[in-house]
Amino acid sequence: MNSTLKSFIAAGLIVLGLAGAMQANASVVIAGTRVIYNATDTETTIKLTNEGKSPALTQVWLDKGDPKSAPASIDVPFTVTPPVARIDPGKGQTLRIIYTGEPLPQDKETVFWLNVLEIPPKPAADDAGANKLQLAFRSRIKLFFRPAGLKDSAEDAPARIVWRLTRADGKPGIEARNPTSYYVSFAGVDVSGGGKSARFEEGGMVSPGETRVFPLTGDAVPGPDAKVHYHAINDYGGAVKGEAALGAQIPR
């Protein structure tokens, strides 16, 4: 990676926090919110589209979950091509993701993150002397490597989550235990029972075999009528409604 591109990347990571405050928008759009890579596939693809009015230069890479890791130092068992591309306004670029064969767990999914960094074009000659802030945008979406022959299915995994009310640091929470081989992502969770309700709205993911506690806002009590209502994210990025029984409360 040359020094100029490194400088762009560094600048992009610094200004990411400013982008939202300035209500600026990225021009390059990813066609999807997640990538599913089945082990039986020779490759998978995802499309980028430039919906802006100027050409965009993009750099793409995969990481293992650390958003601060430098692209040049990341070791993942995938190749993404093209790693750098110019996308003209109204045009698209298809990314090819190829598994390079290094060993990965075969009894559960593994998650990686696809990064797309959009580097702004060089200012036009008329704007060269103007005081303007150019923003580089980085988008990250999940890539799930799915081995062949896993038990059950990803579609059924949300319904197999085991839920219980708990308390952490004196505050109410909902414990989610994932006994499946799949990552399960939730856009939100509601708990109702005994005429009371509580909610977790931030969204979160539970790894295969993991038990995770989500903090709740509101009151919830265990009982025979207690229910969990959730919105799970499917392979296509859509939210699927579900309902589950609530287990006995865990004292903390």
At 247, is the pLDDT very low, low, confident or very high (cuts 50, 70, 90)?
confident
φ, ψ at 158 (rounded to 5°): -60, -35
**Measured between alpha carbons, how far is 188 from 218 in angstroms, rounded to an integer?**
14
What is the pLDDT, as a whole number, of residue 23? Answer: 40
Domains observed in the chain: 3-146 (2.60.40.10), 157-245 (2.60.40.10)
Spatial distance between the Cα atoms of 14 and 9, rounded to a whole number of angstroms: 9
The phi and psi torsions of 90 (rounded to 5 degrees) equal: 75, 0
In tens, the pLDDT along 135-189 reads 789 999 999 999 999 988 999 999 999 999 998 778 889 999 999 999 999 999 9
User: Mean pLDDT in the chain?
Assistant: 86
DSSP class of residue 100 equals: -
Q: What is the pTM of this model?
A: 0.84
Distance CA 209, CA 67 (A): 24
Q: What is the pLDDT of residues 176-228, one digit of tens each?
A: 999 999 999 999 999 998 888 999 999 999 999 999 999 999 887 777 788 99
Share of the chain above pLDDT 70, in %: 83
Does residue 25 carry a pLDDT above 80?
no
Report the pLDDT value the prediction gives residue 120, as an integer from 0 to 100: 78
